Amino acid sequence: MINWPDSLIDELASRRCVIFIGSGASASAKKRIGENDISPPTWAGLLKLLLERSPEDAIGSKENAESLLEKQNYLDCAEIIRTTCLPRAEYNRCIIQTFSGYEPTGVHKAVEILDQKVVITTNFDTLYESLCRQGQGRDGYSVIRYYDDGLVARMRSPTRLIIKAHGCISEPEKTILTKSDFFNARSKYFGFFEALESIFLTHTILFIGYSVNDPEIQLILENNIITYPSANPHYATMSSGSHPSILAAFKNTNNIDILEYNPENDHEQLLESLNNLCDLVEERRAIHT
């Protein structure tokens, strides 16, 4: 089980924390295709699916992308797929089909119970916002994608805010997948990413199901720690087994403390730990009310 830091529990209880959910939060989601239950793909799995739908061409783009995928050079592989291999309409269709139709996971439910003002995700799926918009609280949430106006205004409003930093299946043509996508989005929607950087600077971030290898997020974290060094860390849940030097690097370059858990039994311990965190946060809130 994760031993949650007392300072993090205080931040969550006071709703001063921002939760960042990555693809790991959706990894256990299921939907039925024929006789099989399938889960959303990893980044590598998505690139493989896109390549399966890509036709061959005269300059060997697909073969080159497949080679990059084998070498785990995902950003360059994605660049070739999106710019050369796959027609835009087929890309959009694949994104919608791949990330639609799943049910929210226990991780999503735990994040909702923690009830923070802001949740950020780089996931294309709509699992978390669909969960939040059920029941009596459905009108208390706003969803902002990187290309939408109003992030600062929503931050000042009483509504809960879900930030889709890489876009959404609602507009698959605007999803961020490649280096060019990152550059173009940051150039065109500079105000959004400047506001996002401010959120990272002024809040404690709890990363859940996120590998912290996104170049945009790494840039924000590195810029913040260089410009405004802080003794107050961010936190990230991560499967146990990383070398101590890797954990030290996260701390030194991104100001992130890693909270390790045993990944056996389909990351069962992560969900147990999150449910325990929900209890601890509720107890802390009860003390201060």
pTM of the complete model beyond 0.85: yes
The CATH class of 6-29+103-287 is alpha beta
**Contact in structure between 118 and 163 (CB atoms under 8 Å):** yes
What pLDDT sits at residue 113? 95
19: phi then psi, degrees, rounded to nearest 5: -100, 130
**Contact in structure between 115 and 17 (CB atoms under 8 Å):** no
Of 100, 120, 95, 102, nearest in space to 172 by CA: 95
Domain with CATH 3.40.50.1220 in the chain: 6-29+103-287
Of 149, 106, 104, 95, nearest in space to 130 by CA: 104
The set of long-range contacts for 273-278, using a CB threshold of 8 Å and a minimum separation of 24, is 273/1, 273/2, 273/4, 273/237, 274/106, 274/107, 274/110, 274/111, 274/208, 275/106, 275/110, 276/1, 276/2, 276/4, 277/2, 277/4, 277/9, 277/12, 277/110, 277/114, 278/110, 278/113, 278/114
For the chain, the helix, strand and coil percentages under 3-state DSSP, each to the nearest 5: 55, 15, 30
pLDDT under 50 in the chain at which residues?
Answer: none
The radius of gyration computed from the CA coordinates of the chain, to the nearest angstrom, equals 19
**Contact in structure between 85 and 51 (CB atoms under 8 Å):** yes
Query: Rounded to whole angstroms, how far apart are CA atoms 142 and 113?
Result: 17
What pLDDT sits at residue 216? 62
What pLDDT sits at residue 136? 65
Per residue in 156-174, pLDDT (tens digit) is 888 899 999 999 999 999 9
What pLDDT sits at residue 137? 65
Which alpha helices (H) appear in 88-232, and where do they start and end?
Answer: 88-99, 106-114, 127-132, 151-156, 179-188, 190-202, 215-227
What pLDDT sits at residue 250? 73
